[in-house]
Homo-oligomer: A and B are copies of this chain.
Amino acid sequence: MNHAILLISSPDSKGITAAITSFIANNGGNIIHADQHIDEQSNTFFMRIEWSLVGFQIKREKITEAFSPIAHQFKMTWQLHFSDQKERVAIFVSKHLHCLYDLLYRYRSGQLNCEIPIIISNHPDAADLAKDFEIKFHEFAVLKNNKIEQEKKQMDLLKQERIDLVVLARYHQILTSAFIDSHKNQIINIHHSFLPAFAGKNPYLQAHQKGVKVIGATSHFVTEVLDEGPIIAQDTVAISHRDAVEDLVRKGEDLERVVLNRAVRLYLEKKILCYGNKTVVFD
């Protein structure tokens, strides 16, 4: 069954929920899920509302037009989605394939409501895996002097494939501002630490040297400042002095898979709203 989903943020004001839910009710819609949040510091209202299109009296291509006056009245920033529209996802990966593998397994078993037409890498390692899953594989070897050029080709490819979401599943290249700006809040990265601790290179080695008793993984939107974008999901696992760096890698990879998958699924289900450098996650 097809559903419409509204994702809304706006200044908080009296009557906003009533206005939105009355719009749905008056047009014969049946609400399936509704969740809202008010950030008291900034007096901002956030809502995710999902309703069945069965019996809804406005055609889906007319909903935007019909809802616009309400949105305008309450100064909303808003997105309208339909549950039958599949996002198109590109996965970027380097040599560590565990997150890619996990996403592909979930994709094939129907857990991820998306299309994954392409896998992009700066190394050839994922080619066989892409082949097993019948997904196009593109290798763009990135050298010191060809980075901007290669990125341009990547951006062209993303455009051509009509990609809505870029997932960096352990892609070990820093993207340029040009790339990031052209996909604002559309690039999800997995970092293998509980940020803000251990940003940058070799977080498992950093964690081992520091002697922490938990390690973590963080999935976040990519912004221009490395490992600083809005956090979507995080999790941690206990470790001990017995764990060598390679044990941290093994335990951490299990976390990375879970955390990245959680972030990607939340994105595909339209459950994430960004504000400032933070996220509202309607889970």
- Which residues of A are in contact with B by a Cβ distance under 8 Å? 12, 14-15, 17-19, 21-22, 24-26, 28-40, 55, 97-98, 101, 105, 109, 111, 132, 194-198, 210-214, 216, 230-236, 238, 240-242, 244, 250, 254, 258, 276-281, 283
Contacts and interface: CB of A to CB of B under 8 A. Distances in A.
A105 B111 contact: no
Contact of A105 (B26, B101, B195, B211): B101
Copies in the complex: 4
Given A14-B29, A28-B14, A194 B197 contact: yes
Given A214-B234, A234-B214, A17 B34 contact: yes
B25 A18 contact: yes
A234 B211 contact: no
A235 B237 CA distance: 9
Contacts of A234: 212-214
Contact of A210 (B18, B32, B196): B196
A109 B98 contact: yes
Contact of A214 (B30, B36, B216, B254): B216
Contacts of A22: 18, 21-22
Contacts of A17: 17, 21, 25, 31, 34
Contacts of A280: 241
B241 A278 contact: yes
Nearest to A38: B32
Nearest to A28: B14
A277 B197 CA distance: 17
A166 B240 CA distance: 24
A258 B55 CA distance: 43
Contacts of A194: 194, 197, 212, 214, 216, 236
Contacts of A240: 281, 283
Nearest to A133: B132
Contacts of A279: 211, 241
